[in-house]
Structure 1
Amino acid sequence: MATAEVLNIGKKLYEGKTKEVYELLDCPGQVLLQSKDQITAGNAARKNHMEGKAAISNKTTSCIFELLRGAGIKTAFVRQHGETAFIAPRCEMVPIEWVCRRIATGSFLKRNPGVEEGYRFNPPKVEMFFKDDANNDPQWSREQIIAAKFCFAGLDIGQTEVDIMDRTTQAIFEILEKSWSTQNCTLVDMKVEFGVDVTTKEIVLADVIDNDSWRLWPLGDRRLQKDKQSYRDLKEVTPEGLQMVKKNFEWVAERVELLLKPQSVSRVVILMGSTSDLEHCTQIKKACEGFGMPCELRVTSAHKGPEETLRIKAEYEGDGIPTVFVAVAGRSNGLGPVLSGNTVYPVLNCPPLDSEWGAQDVWSSLRLPGGVCCSTILSPQGAARLAAQILGLNDHLVWARLRASLLNMWISLKQADKKIRASSSSEGTPFSF
C-alpha cells in the first residue's frame, strides 16, 4: 500500500465510540475521520477491543462512499487516508439516525407487535431516531424533527430539509441494495446520518457506512448474517466469538470492493446517417458517458448502403456484448426501422430535427411497419436515459446513476420551490384566488 500523505493534524473535534474527528490545519473546511479498533452494542453497554476493526471499517466506508459519490449522491468524503482514516468535508451533524428497512426484523418487531418477521416493505420503510444514548435513541416523527427547529452551519432544518434527508435515505438504500444483490447478498436494513457541509451549506451524507450500519444476509438467509448482529447475538464475548465476528467483518470488506466494479459489460452504439449529424450525436454520447455507459459513433446509411448497415449491426451482435443501438437520421429515417427489423437488440430513434422540415420528418421515425419496434425520442439526453434504463437492468453502476439522478432532480425542484416561496414571502406578494 502506498505511503499516506503527511497531514498537519490539529485538535480533536469529536470522539465517539468507534471514531475520532480531527481538524486539518492546512485544509480549511476539511477534517480527518480516524476509525478505532473498538466494537460496541447497545449504546456501548457492550464494548470490546477488536484488533484490525479500524482498517476493516475504514475500507468498507471508503468503498461505499466512493460508490455513492460516483453515482451522484452528495457525500462527506474526499479520499481515503491510509488504512484507518479518511478525509471529509467538515460538517455539523444532524442528530438523527435515518433507518431504512426492506425486511421487518430486529427492533421493528418489538415496537410493532403482530408484524411477522420477514414482512417486506414496498417501498422501503424509513424511520427516524433522535441520537440520545441516555434515552436509548428514541424514535422521532417528521413533525418532531421540524418542531425542534435545528440549525446547523447556518441552515435551518425545516420541512424541505427533512424531506430531502428522507428521500436521500431511501435512494441510498436502494442503490446499495441493488449493489449487494450482485454478490447474492440481501441488504435487510441500514442506518445513515447527515450533516451540513460548513463550506457549501448543503445537506450531505456524512459520518460512516460500515458493517455497524446494516444487516446483510447472504442468499437472503438470516443464519448466514455477516453484520454486527453476530456480535449482538453473542451470549458471552469470548476470544473465539470475537474472531468469528471479525471474520464476518472481513468477509464484507473483501466483497465491498467488488461493488465498485461493473458486473457486466455493455455499450451504446450510435449510428448516424451523415457526419452532418455529428453535433447531435456528440450530445447523446456525452449523456451516455454521464451514466457510465461506453459509447461508440459510426456512420452508415440504410438508404445508400443497406448491406454495410447490416454488416455493422452484425459486427456488434457477434461479440455478445449487450448493446443498445441509437439511430440518428433526419429526413426519411430508414436507419432505425432497418436496424430494428433485423436485430433482437433494442433500437432507439433520435432524429435531428430542423426548423423547416422537422415536424414532417419525425413521422418517418414514428410510422413503422408491423413487426418493427424502435422507440423515438427527440431529446439527446432522453435517448441516453432510455438506453441507461435498458442497460441498467443488468449493470448496478448504471442503475445507481439513474437512481441518483432521479433523486437530484427531485431535490432541485424541492429547493427551487423553497426559494420561490421565500422570495414571494419577502416581497409580500399577495395570494390571488
Structure 2
Amino acid sequence: MADAPATPGWTHVYSGKVRDLYEHADHPALLLVIASDRVSAFDHVLEPGIPGKGALLTQLTRWWFGRLAVPNHLAVVDTGGPTLPPVPAELADRAMLVKRLDMLPIECVVRGYLTGSGWAEYRESGTVCGIPLPAGLRDGDRLPGPLYTPAFKAPLGEHDENITFERSVELVGLDRARQLRDASLAIFAAASSIAAERGLLLADTKVEFGADPATGVLTLGDEVLTSDSSRYWDAELYAAGGPSRLDSFDKQIVRDWLAAHWNKQGTPPALPPEIVERTAARYRELLTRLTA
C-alpha cells in the first residue's frame, strides 16, 4: 500500500487509509508523511485512486498551516541545528517533513451546520453527539453555535466512536481536554472567516493534535481543513436554496455512487472514470477557490 521513497535512509513504519509514514534512522525526532492518491469510503480503500489528490491535500494543508495561529508539526530549518534529511524529489509535492508528536487519541470535530451523520442522529433523537438541539431544524441548517463533538480514534478499519467532553477528560485530563476544545473552536472560527471571504461556507471539520515531546506544547498534526477532513459549501448556492446548496468539495460524489452501486458486502466495485474525474475536479476547485 505504501509509496516507497527512493532516497536511502527512509523506512516505512505505518500506512493509514490515505497517508504513509516513514522514519529516518539518523533523525528519530522526524517523520516523513506522504499523502497518497488513495480514496476511501465506508471504511474501505477504493480502486482506482484520485489522480493528484495527495498533492492537492498537501498543498492545502501547508497553506492553512501558514494562516492559523496554532503550533503545527511541520519541521523547519534551524540554522543552528542539524541539517534536515532530504525529501525524495519524486514525492516532494505530496510529502511533509514533520516533527514526531505524542499524538492524542481524540479526533476533534467542530460542526457549524447540521448535516451528515449529525443530521441522521438529529432526525432520530433531536441531538447531535448527544447534545440537544432546537426542534424544527432542517438538513444543512446553521447551528445556533459551533458544536465541539470529539471522537475516540479507532484502530484502522474500525469506526471512530463519538464521545462526550467528559469522556475526553477521562482520556487526556481536564487541562488537555480544554485545550483541545478551545484550539479546535478557534481554528474553526478563523477558517470559517477566511473561507467566507472566498465565497465558501465551512460546514464542519476534523483536526488532530499531539504533544511536542520536548515541550508538551499542544501541536496541530496530520492534515488540516482539506477536502478529506472538512466539508465546504458554495455560499451563493447555499443562499439560493436549490438542490445543489449542500454539494460539497470532497469525495461525496464517491460516497453517493458507492451507496447506489454496492450493498457494503464483500469487495467494493471499481470507481468509473467519470466518478474519479468529477471527484478530482472538486478537490482542484476547492484548492483554487481558497488559495487563488
Q: Which residue of 2 aligns with 1:10?
A: 10
Q: Which residue of 2 aligns with 1:349?
A: none
Provide the C-alpha distance between the structure 2 equivalents of 1:109 and 1:243, rounded to a whole number of angstroms: 28
Q: 1:37 to 1:135 in 2, by over 3 A?
A: closer
Q: Which residue of 1 aligns with 2:33?
A: 33
C-alpha contact (below 8 Å) 1:76/1:88 kept by paired residues? yes
Alignment of 1:199-348 (within 5 A): 199-209=214-224, 210-219=226-235, 221=238, 222-234=245-257, 235-236=260-261, 237-258=271-292
Of 121, 126, 140 in structure 1, the residue corresponding to residue 143 of structure 2 is 121
Q: Which residue of 2 aligns with 1:395?
A: none
The one-letter amino acid of 1:212's match is D
Return the structure number with greater relative CO, CA threshold 8 A, min gap 6: 2
Stretches of structure 2 that go unaligned for 5 or more consecutive residues are: 1-5, 77-85, 127-136, 239-244, 262-270
Provide the C-alpha distance between the structure 2 equivalents of 1:9 and 1:159, rounded to a whole number of angstroms: 40
C-alpha contact (below 8 Å) 2:152/2:162 kept by paired residues? yes
Q: Which residue of 1 aligns with 2:180?
A: 165
Provide the C-alpha distance between the structure 1 equivalents of 2:158 and 2:53, rounded to a whole number of angstroms: 27
- SS of 2:33's equivalent in the other structure is strand
Q: Which residue of 2 aligns with 1:130?
A: 152
Provide the C-alpha distance between the structure 2 equivalents of 1:16 and 1:176, rounded to a whole number of angstroms: 26
Q: What CA deviation, in whole Å up to 9, does each residue of 1:240-295 have, x standing for no partner?
A: 0110000000111223324xxxxxxxxxxxxxxxxxxxxxxxxxxxxxxxxxxxxx
Provide the C-alpha distance between the structure 2 equivalents of 1:198 and 1:62, rounded to a whole number of angstroms: 22
Provide the C-alpha distance between the structure 2 equivalents of 1:199 and 1:47, rounded to a whole number of angstroms: 40
Alignment of 1:157-196 (within 5 A): 157-196=172-211
Q: Which residue of 2 aligns with 1:327?
A: none
- CA offset at residue 123 of structure 1? 2.7
C-alpha contact (below 8 Å) 1:102/1:120 kept by paired residues? yes
C-alpha contact (below 8 Å) 1:189/1:215 kept by paired residues? yes
- CA offset at residue 208 of structure 1? 0.8
C-alpha contact (below 8 Å) 2:140/2:246 kept by paired residues? no
User: Please, what is the CA RMSD of the aligned residues?
Assistant: 2.3
Q: Which residue of 2 aligns with 1:77?
A: 74
Q: 1:92 to 1:211 in 2, by over 3 A?
A: same
Provide the C-alpha distance between the structure 1 equivalents of 2:183 and 2:47, rounded to a whole number of angstroms: 31
The one-letter amino acid of 2:198's match is Q
Q: What CA deviation, in whole Å up to 9, does each residue of 1:195-224 have, x standing for no partner?
A: 122232222111112210111111253354
Q: 1:134 to 1:78 in 2, by over 3 A?
A: closer
C-alpha contact (below 8 Å) 2:14/2:21 kept by paired residues? yes
Instruction: Give 1 or 2 for the bigger CA radius of gyration.
Output: 1
Please report the TM-score for the alignment, with normalisation by the length of structure 2.
Answer: 0.76
Provide the C-alpha distance between the structure 1 equivalents of 2:195 and 2:7, rounded to a whole number of angstroms: 34
Alignment partner of 1:145 is 2:168: yes
Q: Which residue of 1 aligns with 2:133?
A: none
Q: What CA deviation, in whole Å up to 9, does each residue of 1:305-330 have, x standing for no partner?
A: xxxxxxxxxxxxxxxxxxxxxxxxxx
The one-letter amino acid of 1:146's match is V
Q: Which residue of 2 aligns with 1:408?
A: none
C-alpha contact (below 8 Å) 1:64/1:256 kept by paired residues? no
Runs of 4+ in 1 over 6 A off after TM superposition: none
Provide the C-alpha distance between the structure 1 equivalents of 2:7 and 2:64, rounded to a whole number of angstroms: 24
- CA offset at residue 104 of structure 1? 0.3
Provide the C-alpha distance between the structure 2 equivalents of 1:47 and 1:195, rounded to a whole number of angstroms: 31
Provide the C-alpha distance between the structure 2 equivalents of 1:192 and 1:63, rounded to a whole number of angstroms: 15
- SS of 1:74's equivalent in the other structure is coil
Please report the TM-score for the alignment, with normalisation by the length of structure 1.
Answer: 0.52
- SS of 1:98's equivalent in the other structure is strand
C-alpha contact (below 8 Å) 2:146/2:185 kept by paired residues? yes
- CA offset at residue 186 of structure 1? 0.7
C-alpha contact (below 8 Å) 1:40/1:48 kept by paired residues? no
The one-letter amino acid of 1:229's match is Q
The one-letter amino acid of 2:100's match is R
Alignment of 1:30-109 (within 5 A): 30-44=30-44, 46=46, 48-68=48-68, 72-78=69-75, 82-109=92-119
Q: 1:135 to 1:53 in 2, by over 3 A?
A: closer
Instruction: Tell which deviates more after alignment, 200-209 or 44-53.
Output: 44-53
Q: Which residue of 1 aligns with 2:129?
A: none
Provide the C-alpha distance between the structure 1 equivalents of 2:158 and 2:10, rounded to a whole number of angstroms: 33
The one-letter amino acid of 2:147's match is K
More helix by share: 1
- SS of 1:95's equivalent in the other structure is strand
The one-letter amino acid of 1:94's match is L
Q: 1:216 to 1:28 in 2, by over 3 A?
A: same
Q: Which residue of 2 aligns with 1:421?
A: none
- SS of 2:290's equivalent in the other structure is helix
Of 121, 131, 143 in structure 2, the residue corresponding to residue 111 of structure 1 is 121
